[in-house]
Each structure stands twice: as C-alpha cells, then as structure tokens.
Amino acid sequence: MSNQVAAATRRKDKSASALVEICSVRLGNALYGMPISHILEIVGGARPQPVPLAPSFVGGLVHYRGDVLTAVSLRQLLRMPPLDGPQDILVLESSGGCFGLLVDSVGEVLTVPAADFEPNPSTLDETRRDLIAGAYKLQNALMVMLDPERLDPVRLGVAEAA
C-alpha cells in the first residue's frame, strides 16, 4: 500500500538530497511526524470554538487569516480522551483546501534521510492504518508519520458517513 507522502518523499529523493524535514508533534506521550512541506503555519495556544452536533473528529473552528478553518482533533481520531486547555494547531493544506490539525503541542523539526521510511506494517489496526502513512526509523525510536490527505475533514466526513 503505497501512499502519497511516501511517494512524494521518494520523488524528492531522486531530484535532490535524500533528506526530509519532519515536524514532530506530541500527543499524550506519543510522538508523531508531519512532513513540513504540507504545513502552512503553526498556530500556538489556540482555543478552538466547538461546533455542536459536528462529527466527532471535528475539534472545532479556528480563526486563521480572516478565514474560518475546521480543525480536526487528532486525539478524537486516535480515540484518546480530550485535553483541556490550549492546544497547538497545524494549518495544513490538502487537495480539499486548508484545515487545522489539533495536537497537544508541536515539537522540533527533524531532518531525516528519506531512505529510512518504512510503510505501515500489515499488523497495524485498521482504524490507525487509515490515518498513518508509515514511520521513519530514528536512532532510538520510530517517528510515526501522519498523512495530511487522509486527515482532511472532507475525507473524514465521507468516511464517517459511509
């Protein structure tokens, strides 16, 4: 099962250096990665406005540059308990437009060799497999990669309806 992030990374490999920049995000104790090429901006300390009756994956609305963005709650997607207090938002660009991704906090940006990427193992749980692209093998840990295309609220909405 190939995916777009991996495909994009591989294409990059051929053209230039084999290095990929990844923004790390923290969620509880876990660390996830998001390719920096898909991030428009990181908004810190946001308090999204809840939307009553919205699908469960919607963390709320956030104001971004005069536009109102729908924020996807990563916690909700991964079936984690909600977090009180301000959260960080990654403003991501997908084919369906811009949206926000609510995470506990945003960490440092890592540069890793693209060759260290491995797709999802076949044993991964179905629901997670829909959100996770694969992982980069870091020296002492795995950086689980998120796929912006798969986190797009429009796509998630369709998936939920189905």
Chain residues that interact with other proteins, rule: CB under 8 A:
49-55, 58, 61-63, 65-70, 96-97, 99, 153-154, 156-157, 161
The answer to whether 89 touches 101, Cβ cutoff 8 Å, is yes
The answer to whether 25 touches 83, Cβ cutoff 8 Å, is no
C-beta of 20 vs 88, nearer to other proteins: 88
User: 57 vs 22, 71, 82, CA distance in Å?
Assistant: 24, 9, 11
C-beta of 41 vs 118, nearer to other proteins: 41
Q: Residue 1 Cβ, how far from other proteins at the closest point, in Å?
A: 24
C-beta of 48 vs 134, nearer to other proteins: 48
Q: Residue 43 Cβ, how far from other proteins at the closest point, in Å?
A: 12
Q: Which residues contact 9 (CB under 8 A, 6 or more apart)?
A: 20, 35, 114, 117
Q: Residue 156 Cβ, how far from other proteins at the closest point, in Å?
A: 7
